[in-house]
């Protein structure tokens, strides 16, 4: 009787320890050279924006409302707009679940192309 109860307790403990995470990678290259390489990871509500490579020396980010999409105009203004230097990471807690983002090697006012 103790063995099934112990096994169930262990499974519950392991499930409680697992973190919720989501990763998005943006990688653009020209002639085999990365012009932009960015990774965004969200773990338990904290987003981490990592600039791995950028021809300008910075990755520029626009963080969008969950109702918006990066490839179309949106009535909602960006939630955040910032740059991260190559080799650096910026942590940002408190963004809404399902936020969208786009990264570029240059500063942009919106994600979609004109």
Amino acid 74: pLDDT: 87
* Alpha-carbon span 36 to 55, nearest angstrom: 7
Amino acid 13: pLDDT: 42
Amino acid 73: pLDDT: 86
Residue 68 has pLDDT above 50, yes or no: yes
* Alpha-carbon span 6 to 26, nearest angstrom: 44
pLDDT confidence band for 113 (50 / 70 / 90) = low
Amino acid 65: pLDDT: 94
Unique residue bearing structure tokens 């408190």: 94
């Amino acid at each position: 009787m103790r063995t099934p109860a112990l096994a169930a307790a262990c499974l519950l403990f392991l499930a409680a320890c697992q973190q919720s995470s989501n990763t998005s990678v943006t990688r653009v290259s020209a002639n085999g050279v990365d012009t932009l390489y960015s990774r965004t990871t969200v773990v338990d509500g904290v987003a981490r924006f990592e600039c791995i490579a950028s021809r300008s020396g910075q990755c520029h980010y626009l963080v969008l409302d969950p109702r918006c999409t990066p490839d179309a105009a949106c009535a909602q203004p960006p939630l955040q707009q910032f740059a991260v230097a190559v080799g650096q990471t910026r942590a940002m807690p408190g963004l809404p679940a399902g936020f969208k983002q786009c990264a570029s090697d240059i500063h942009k006012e919106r994600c979609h192309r004109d």
